[in-house]
Structure 1
Amino acid sequence: MIIKDVELKTWGNSKALRIGKDEMAALGLSEKQLGLRMVVENGKIILTPKKSYPETIEELFADYDGTVLSEQDRYEWDEPVGRELL
């Protein structure tokens, strides 16, 4: 566990937080994988490394609530115009 006091710095019109090498290693982030998911809730900021692709079928459908698209939500495909396989 890393506990550290940090300061927000100005970056354009925003504020920025620098994440050091030790914190990157603790999060398992490489120099190439820099995506994080930020959740602000109950006065806290929670940063979680964001995966590029789901690793399991459960992760792929984690946000799916099981509802079937209604007729209004379905995409209306046009008639075939070339040599599409049906």
Structure 2
Amino acid sequence: MAQNSLKIAKWGNGQGIRLPMAVMKLLSLKVGDELQMKVQNETIVLVPKKEKKLTLAERFANYDGPTEQKEIWSDEIVGKEEI
């Protein structure tokens, strides 16, 4: 991809740059996505922030609530069920 020059512009009380659509498409970015910024050797590096998908075990690793289970099935008619 060819290098583009980006201009820093005033954006509300801060400053911002606009990313070209070609870059957005190349990296599968959309409005609202987050980028992590690193400064390395006087160079700004932007990296798309990817949320790690947790496994079920990872999601419950720190859970310390109740783990009791009970059957809640009933054959009673409780509403307007049609059989």
TM range (shorter): 0.5 to 0.7
Q: Which runs of 5+ in 1 are unaligned?
A: 56-82
Q: Which runs of 5+ in 2 are unaligned?
A: 55-64, 68-83
Structure showing greater radius of gyration is 2
Residue number in structure 1 paired with 2:39 = 40
Residue number in structure 2 paired with 1:24 = 24
RMSD: 3.2
Residue number in structure 2 paired with 1:6 = 6
State how many pairs are aligned.
Answer: 61
TM-score (norm 1): 0.54
Cα deviation 1:26-68 (Å, max 9, x = unaligned): 1222346x1111101221100011102258xxxxxxxxxxxxx
Counterpart CA distance in 2 for 1:2 and 1:54 is 33
TM-score (norm 2): 0.56
The one-letter amino acid paired with 1:29 is: L
Structure 1: which 4+ aligned runs deviate by more than 6 Å?
A: none
Q: Secondary structure at the match of 2:22?
A: helix
